Amino acid sequence: MQKITPFLWFDNQAEEAVNFYTSIFKNSQVGKIARYGESGPGPQGSVMTIAFQLNGQDFLALNGGPHFKFTEAVSFVVNCETQAEIDEFWEKLSEGGEIQQCGWLKDRYGLSWQIVPTVIDELLTDSDPARRERVAQAILQMTKLDLPILLQVYEQA
């Protein structure tokens, strides 16, 4: 068991969201499901918590009611090796959600994701301030990140 596990609070769609997420990421699976009993507070027999893994990372989801909503204050970063991988995750996770700026999106459940190329840290921490600034300015103009354009901007003389 990993030491720290992200815990996601849903109104009543935890099982639906878990099935959605595990269908997108490789090496993913649904784990144990705890159901509400007679004492509630959810309907008897409905999902209370559901454990799952995304790409081997443990998560736990709760159907806790409408008391709390997701915000951009917490997001998940998906590191992608290629533009094809960026495109795939972007398409799947943004379906029914909300596209945002700089590689961010909200999925249909309101959870925020950052779909980024693995080289993003290298590009934004380069020792040349002009390179860093060109890349940062290019990112600010994008919704879905375009790796070939970012690399082109980075290499400009």
pLDDT of amino acid 40: 86
CA-CA-CA-CA dihedral for 126, 131, 132, 136, to nearest 10: -140
Span 24-33, pLDDT tens digits: 999 999 999 9
Task: Give the pairing of strands 57-63 and 7-10.
Answer: parallel
Would you give per-residue pLDDT tens digits along the chain (157 residues)? 789 999 999 999 999 999 999 999 999 999 999 999 999 899 999 999 999 999 999 999 999 999 999 999 999 999 999 999 999 999 999 999 999 999 999 999 999 999 999 999 999 999 999 999 999 999 999 999 999 999 999 999 6
Please, are residues 79 and 121 in contact by the beta-carbon 8 Å criterion?
no
